[in-house]
Structure 1
């Protein structure tokens, strides 16, 4: 008997758009969920797979007292030295890619019909469009993004807008989308209804 290949759906959106919330709702509908950003964070946590290589490449000053990547110090280095980002990505990306592939294989073996990949920088990456069957973009106004991020993190408005400026534009994300969920002014129950509709379109 031939095993049906799972459908691979990338879910993305700008910071504060609600993409991870929507991805989790799809998981609740029966999809397998692979959190690419969560995996990236895990390899730079204490005892993470990338820590030894980061220490060797950048020095012990970039590892914090708990043994994790010192994100603030690394962020400052990346802003000051464009090559530092490439050096860090050369360490982290292969590990993340391998972990994502393993998680996707496990989801396929578990006979999931739909695998949802929660990918913050999907449109910024050249690799993902080749690996996905469809892309769903969770979209909202920039002012809404700023308000949500400030509410959860306490960052200043200019800091949030600086992060938004480093990401793809709303127009770029929407142009790459097969589905767009406009998550502005919606109650969570409304967003759940939309998640159920999307899940149903994939047979869940």
Structure 2
């Protein structure tokens, strides 16, 4: 088994790419979904967030108001770092469980959908491939303003909280340009899928499975540290 890291930027259209990959039968682990799950009431991360950010970020139901929390962390970098320090270990634990599940099920590669893959830079060394979903800056800004109902200043602040897509582009081994229409993006995803399948054939033909498993083992070791820390 080998790992593929998939990332993008806010409003770059990563969900569109993930949808196509799932249609193709790929195993995709979504860090955003896991991030929402680990902050449910009464869980460890939830309790720490409430302790540090206060009850003003809670909805009447007791769940975390993601918009209220987002407005804090996007304007205060130190608060964003604190939130990441609370949630990332819990997210990585759940990612580990899901990677192991797909390994047992016999999948030969797993795609890890991690929005901050290039910002944190801790997991990229365990990926055989890294994929960036890119769009040009003006398109990104326009999409974010429309999607979230933000003014330009608010949208720019959220984009500025992440590493610029042009910088991420230099770090990725594959780039899917989502600046155009859905059909153009879909064709690029199909080409990526073909490359991943070809990579599998090459791995088996060259008996390089051991190296791929070693990369997976390194990731598992890193994540397992959270269980015993």
Flag the 1:29–1:147 CA change in 2: closer, same or farther, 3 A: same
- Is 2:161 the partner of 1:166? yes
Q: CA RMSD in A?
A: 2.2
Flag the 1:203–1:171 CA change in 2: closer, same or farther, 3 A: same
- Is 2:211 the partner of 1:189? no
Q: Give the ranges of 4+ consecutive aligned residues of structure 1 lying more than 6 Å apart after TM superposition.
A: none
SS in structure 1 of the partner of residue 25 of structure 2: coil
Distance in structure 2 (CA, Å) of the matches to 1:78 and 1:152: 19
Does the CA contact (< 8 Å) of 1:23 and 1:33 recur in 2?
Answer: yes
Does the CA contact (< 8 Å) of 1:50 and 1:91 recur in 2?
Answer: yes
| Structure number having the greater helix percentage | 2
Distance in structure 2 (CA, Å) of the matches to 1:100 and 1:147: 32
What pairs with 1:132-147 in structure 2 (closer than 5 Å)? Answer: 132-147=127-142
Distance in structure 2 (CA, Å) of the matches to 1:86 and 1:177: 24
Flag the 1:48–1:189 CA change in 2: closer, same or farther, 3 A: farther
* Counterpart residue number, 1:129: 124
- Is 2:193 the partner of 1:199? yes
- Is 2:144 the partner of 1:149? yes
Structure 2 residues not aligned, in runs of 5+: 199-229
SS in structure 1 of the partner of residue 132 of structure 2: strand
Flag the 1:166–1:134 CA change in 2: closer, same or farther, 3 A: same
Distance in structure 2 (CA, Å) of the matches to 1:80 and 1:51: 21
Does the CA contact (< 8 Å) of 2:130 and 2:172 recur in 1?
Answer: yes
Measured after TM superposition, the shift of residue 13 of structure 1 is: 1.3
Deviations for 1:114-162, whole angstroms, at most 9, x for unmatched residues? 2111111111112121221111111111111122223322222221122
Flag the 1:29–1:44 CA change in 2: closer, same or farther, 3 A: same
* Counterpart residue number, 2:219: none
